[in-house]
């Protein structure tokens, strides 16, 4: 179901809100807690993941595109994959510029920590082979420069494209020390060097 977007929202407002809502990546929905007095479930604070999905469904076109990913739910799943398989994801807007009548480009910085879960789910070949490269990567924090291009559909007041890219090559090369090792790590990885998810 296509939600009705408020007509007074500009592409600048929508783009800025994207960075506010996804500053810490995908936020896992909170469960309900039991009250000590009556043992009935009581709601915890706002379910952030639902807020994120509501935002995407309201301000993105139904077929919004990010690379090979299309649709609000698919965009949220991409964030979920990144966030659940890394620790302490932090997505920061550095600069936002207009590059066309209905296009913006954001300069970004994304940081995340590689954990055992990252190795198992993103670089499983390193774990299976007990590669020494896995040891080099474990518990390291990546700081990645990147960009997001927003293309606005003025006819409906929604974003039709949110094209995200990150530079994983630079921090990975710094950690691993050689292009050959970087190539080996990403040869069978579930992420590409520009931050796209590889379909199984």
Residue 199 per-residue DSSP state: P
CA angle 13, 15, 16 (to 5 degrees): 65
User: 3-12, 14-23, 35-44: which has the minimum mean pLDDT?
Assistant: 35-44
For residue 72, give the nearest of 47, 54, 48 by alpha carbon. Answer: 54
Q: What is the pLDDT of residue 92?
A: 98
Angle, nearest 10°, between helix axes 48-59 and 72-84? Answer: 140
Instruction: Give dist(CA 88, CA 169) in Å, integer.
Output: 20
Indicate if the pLDDT at residue 6 is higher than 80: no
Indicate if the pLDDT at residue 48 is higher than 90: no
More confident residue, 29 or 135: 135
Indicate if the pLDDT at residue 3 is higher than 90: no
In this prediction, residues 51-78 reach a mean pLDDT of 95
* pLDDT bracket for residue 9 (50, 70, 90): low
Which structural domains are found in the chain, ordered by start? 11-26+44-187 (3.10.450.50)
- Residue 17 CB contacts under 8 Å (≥ 6 apart), including other chains: 55, 59
In this prediction, residues 81-109 reach a mean pLDDT of 96
Q: What is the pLDDT of residues 154-195, one digit of tens each?
A: 999 999 999 999 999 999 999 999 999 999 999 999 999 999
What's this model's pTM, rounded to 2 decimal places? 0.84
Q: What is the pLDDT of residue 47?
A: 65
Residue 161 per-residue DSSP state: E
CB 39 within 8 A of CB 23: no
The helix (H) or strand (E) run that includes residue 21 is helix 11-21
- Residue 178 CB contacts under 8 Å (≥ 6 apart), including other chains: none
**pLDDT above 90: percentage of residues in the chain:** 78
Indicate if the pLDDT at residue 77 is higher than 90: yes
Q: Which residues pair with 137 in a beta bridge?
A: none
In this prediction, residues 118-125 reach a mean pLDDT of 96
């Amino acid at each position: 179901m296509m939600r009705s977007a408020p007509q007074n929202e500009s592409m600048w407002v929508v783009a800025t809100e994207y960075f506010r809502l996804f500053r810490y990546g995908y936020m896992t929905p909170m469960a309900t807690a039991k009250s000590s007095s009556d043992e009935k479930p009581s709601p915890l604070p706002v379910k952030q993941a639902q807020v994120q999905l509501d935002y995407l469904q309201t301000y993105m076109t139904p077929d919004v595109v990010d690379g090979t990913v299309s649709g609000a739910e698919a965009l949220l799943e991409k964030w979920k994959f990144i966030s659940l398989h890394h620790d302490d994801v932090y997505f920061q807007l550095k600069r936002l510029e207009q590059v066309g009548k209905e296009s913006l480009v954001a300069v970004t910085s994304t940081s995340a920590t590689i954990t055992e879960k990252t190795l198992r789910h993103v670089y499983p070949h390193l774990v299976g082979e007990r590669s020494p490269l896995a040891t080099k990567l474990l518990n390291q924090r990546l700081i990645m420069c990147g960009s997001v291009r927003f293309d606005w559909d003025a006819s409906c007041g929604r974003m039709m494209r949110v094209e995200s890219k990150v530079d994983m090559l630079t921090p990975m090369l710094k950690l691993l020390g050689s292009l050959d090792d970087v190539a080996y790590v990403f040869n069978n990885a579930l992420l590409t060097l520009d931050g796209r998810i590889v379909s199984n």
